[in-house]
Amino acid sequence: MSEIIQLQKIKKTLTKRRQQHTLLDECSLSVNQGDMLAITGQSGIGKSTLLNIIGCLDFPTQGKYLFDDHDVTKMNIKQRNMLRKKHFGYIFQQYLLIEHLSVLDNVALALQYRNPRQNSCSESKKILNEFGLSNHENHKPNELSGGQQQRASLARAIITNPRVLLADEPTGALDAHNSHLMMKTLKEINQSRDTTIILVTHDLEMANYCKRTITMESILGKAVAHE
């Protein structure tokens, strides 16, 4: 199996009220293509920050990040944006669907963002059907249940067929039934599409759906500095 993501001694410092804080220190991790990985760890330790660095939404202060052996830390903004657009899909705890757009338009927009010339409507309808949301495609997000909104945000994330799907507490706002449904769907996506999935969760029962689980402590080379 080939390594798609390698983090080598990643450091992240933040400035808060003019004081420097080290959040991630000597953080090393490697992820194979097709892996399904859960990241757990105490609140505030830096899980979301790490996920954002992996997804090129944030940038490390020091260290090396290799994606397919290409050094992301040496890329300019344009190259990183290209990488993000081409290879990553994201889902978040709070769904982050665009409220004034229909479910169909939310999903179609992701496809258009990737390729403005693509006919996004039929593809979007197809994936919403797969996710049991055909009857809701013209509804606005706030007309859907939490589980349906999360499935819509998953449809939006995978419609571009990303190689890596990043999920930050994807079941955090869902009840037990919908949480298991979401994890089963993620597992199916991992198996049928060979999508590499990295998810953050507090819930060890949800982590059990993954091929492996790591705690933040185990991938931080040094103690994490807290405020």
Ligand X SMILES: Nc1ncnc2c1ncn2[C@@H]1O[C@H](COP(=O)(O)OP(=O)(O)OP(=O)(O)O)[C@@H](O)[C@H]1O
Q: Which residues bind ligand X (CB under 6 A)?
A: 14, 16, 23, 41, 43-49
The residue among 18 and 78 lying less far from ligand X, judged by its C-beta, is 18
What residue 195 binds from Mg ion, ligand X, none (CB within 5 to 8 A, per partner kind)? none
Question: From the CB of 183, what's the least distance to ligand X, in Å?
Answer: 18
Shortest distance (Å) from residue 98 CB to ligand X = 23
Near Mg ion by CB under 5 A: residue from 48, 61, 73, 215: 48
Q: Hey, what's the torsion of the CAs at 162, 168, 170, 174, to 10 degrees?
A: -160
Smallest Cα–Cα separation from 125: which of 114, 111, 113?
A: 111
Q: Are 150 and 174 in contact (CB under 8 A)?
A: yes
Binding to Mg ion in span 90-149, by CB under 5 A: none
Which one of Mg ion, ligand X, none is in contact with 14 (Cβ closer than 5 to 8 A by kind)? ligand X
DSSP characters for 26-39? EEEEEEETT-EEEE
Backbone angles phi, psi at 181, to 5 degrees: -60, -45
- Kindly provide the residue ranges of all beta strands, DSSP E only, lying in the chain, ordered along the sequence: 3-16, 19-32, 36-40, 62-67, 70-71, 88-92, 164-168, 196-200, 212-215
Question: Which residue number is nearest to Mg ion in terms of Cβ?
Answer: 48
Give helix 146-158 / helix 120-130 axis angle, nearest 10°: 130
Structure tokens at 166: 């990043």
Q: How far is the CB of 196 from ligand X (least distance, A)?
A: 20
C-beta of 140 vs 202, nearer to ligand X: 202
Which of ligand X, Mg ion, none does residue 45 bind to, with CB < 5 to 8 Å depending on kind? ligand X
Whose Cβ is closer to Mg ion: residue 6's or residue 48's?
Answer: 48
- Cα angle at 163 between 145 and 118, to 5 degrees? 75
How many residues lie near Mg ion (CB under 5 A)? 1
Minimum distance of ligand X from residue 49's CB (angstroms): 3
- Output 28 or 48, the one with its CB closest to Mg ion: 48
* Binding site residues, Mg ion, CB under 5 A: 48
